[in-house]
Every structure is written in structure tokens, then in C-alpha cells.
């Protein structure tokens, strides 16, 4: 928001400056004023973008590696969340920064089992972040709010139609809720959107043949949804689960 106001101010000053200086009419100042507005906005937006890249890099670094215990994993997540929260100050400067940071915080809280905290951030998250919307859908599934679950997953597959995992998780939740026919339709839509993806094709075929919808092909990302317990080899030395930072592509 601030970036836009500053850029508008610069453009207006240039436009009025040309008029008041006698160089030309107000109309003569519109083109240079518009150019000044666009250039100023792009420069300011890039500055915020660079600062966000540094922030996200620090968050990723914090979450890298295998924690040796649940306590260490939780401490890493808490530090990463604090880093992200500091980035919310950029929301006043640039559009869509806040919703994207809320998406990342929501995912971290969800993966660390803080479902109330996750939901509060998912409510402010970007609808374009399909992973956050899918986790919100999984959260609604766990709370048996199946109407909201479908709304969130529909938003997820709309934004991330080329991500097979999202379609598979959506279908898995429907199958668990005894909605096999709906799950078949979802997988069918997923295959239509990703005609060359063998994992989705196999998932659809399995369900059509009354077999269990297995999520192994979608590991390790599948474990981040916390809907099934990972095998022992996925756990850290002290019983902690690895938390992986998942940026929106």
C-alpha cells in the first residue's frame, strides 16, 4: 500500500511540476508522470521483494536438516514462525505480501499440530497458495467440517491444478468420508488436468477397481498433511518429525 501511495505521489508531482513550471499543460505532464509512477512502483516493489527473499532464505535455512528430537523440531518451527511474523510488517508496503506470509505461517503451524493457530492464519492466507489451501482442507477434514473441507480443496485444485498431490489428498479425504463416487470424480478431473501423470492415473485406476487409495507414490510430501502416521524411518532420533518448508511454486 505504501509503495503505491509513494509512486502515485511521485507521478502527481511530476505531472503538476510540468504544469506549474510552464513547460506544458496538465495533459503534457500525464505521460512523464505516468512513467515516473510506474518506474517508482517497480523499484519499490523490487526492494520489498529482495527483502522478502532474504527473509524466506533465512526461514528455509532454519528448517533445513533432520532434528534429533521433537523438542528441537518444535524450537526450529517456533523460530521460523517468528521470522515470518516479522515479515508481516511488509504488508503495509506491498500488496499480497501479508496473505502469502500468513500462508507460510499457517502451514508451519499445521505441520507442528497447532491446528487452532494454523486455522487463524489460513483464514488470512493467499487463495493462490494451493498447498496452504490443501492443508486447510485437511484441517477441516480432521474437524469433520466436510463442507468447508470441500471448499478449501476446490480452491487448492483451482490454484494448483498441475500439482498431483493436491488432487490425491482431496480424493483421499473423500474416500475416508465414504464419498467414493465424489473421489472418483476428483481424480478424474486431476487426470484430465495432468494427462501425463502416471501417479494420478494409477490412483484413479485403483479406486475404480475397488482397491485402496494408496498415498505412497506421493511421499514424502504426503506426510506433511499429518493424516497418516509416517513409518519409523521418517522420524528423527528422538522421535521428532522433520518439518519441511514448502514454498508456493
Q: Which of 2, 222, 247 is nearest to 101 (CA)?
A: 247
Question: How high is the pLDDT of residue 232?
Answer: 65
Contact (Cβ atoms closer than 8 angstroms) between residue 184 and residue 204:
yes
Q: List C-alpha distances in Å: 72 to 62, 76, 77, 208, 247.
A: 11, 6, 9, 43, 22
Q: Which of 104, 134, 99, 119 is nearest to 243 (CA)?
A: 104
Number of Cβ atoms within 10 Å of the Cβ of 100: 22
**What digits encode the pLDDT tens for the residues 147-169?**
999 999 999 999 999 999 999 99
Q: Which residues of the chain have a pLDDT value below 50?
A: 235-249
Contact (Cβ atoms closer than 8 angstroms) between residue 190 and residue 165:
no
pTM above 0.85? Answer: no
Question: How high is the pLDDT of residue 24?
Answer: 63
CA terminus-to-terminus distance, the chain: 24
Task: Fill in the DSSP letter of residue 230.
Answer: P
Q: Which three cell numbers mark 172?
A: 483421499
Cα separation, 203 vs 198, whole angstroms: 8
Amino acid at each position: 500500500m505504501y509503495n503505491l501511495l509513494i509512486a502515485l505521489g511521485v507521478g502527481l508531482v511530476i505531472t503538476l511540476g510540468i504544469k506549474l513550471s510552464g513547460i506544458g499543460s496538465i495533459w503534457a505532464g500525464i505521460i512523464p508522470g505516468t512513467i515516473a509512477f510506474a518506474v517508482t512502483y517497480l523499484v519499490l516493489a523490487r526492494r520489498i521483494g529482495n527483502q522478502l527473499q532474504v527473509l524466506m532464505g533465512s526461514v528455509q535455512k532454519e528448517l533445513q536438516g533432520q532434528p534429533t528430537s521433537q523438542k528441537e523440531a518444535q524450537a526450529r518451527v517456533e523460530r521460523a514462525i517468528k521470522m515470518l511474523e516479522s515479515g508481516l510488517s511488509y504488508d503495509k508496503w506491498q500488496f499480497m505480501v501479508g496473505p502469502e506470509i500468513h500462508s507460510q505461517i499457517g502451514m508451519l503451524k499445521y505441520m507442528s499440530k497447532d491446528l487452532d493457530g494454523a486455522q487463524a492464519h489460513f483464514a488470512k492466507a493467499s487463495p493462490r497458495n494451493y498447498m496452504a489451501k490443501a492443508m486447510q482442507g485437511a484441517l477441516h477434514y480432521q474437524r469433520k467440517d466436510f463442507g468447508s473441507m470441500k471448499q478449501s480443496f476446490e480452491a487448492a485444485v483451482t490454484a494448483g491444478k498441475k500439482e498431483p498431490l493436491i488432487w490425491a489428498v482431496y480424493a483421499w479425504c473423500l474416500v475416508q468420508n465414504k464419498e467414493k463416487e465424489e473421489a472418483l470424480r476428483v481424480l478424474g478431473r486431476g487426470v484430465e488436468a495432468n494427462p501425463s501423470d502416471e501417479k494420478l492415473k494409477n490412483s484413479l485406476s485403483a479406486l475404480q477397481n475397488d482397491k485402496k487409495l494408496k498415498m505412497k507414490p506421493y511421499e514424502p510430501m504426503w506426510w506433511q498433511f499429518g493424516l497418516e502416521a509416517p513409518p519409523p524411518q521418517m522420524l528423527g532420533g528422538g522421535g521428532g518429525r522433520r518439518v519441511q518448508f514448502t514454498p508456493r511454486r
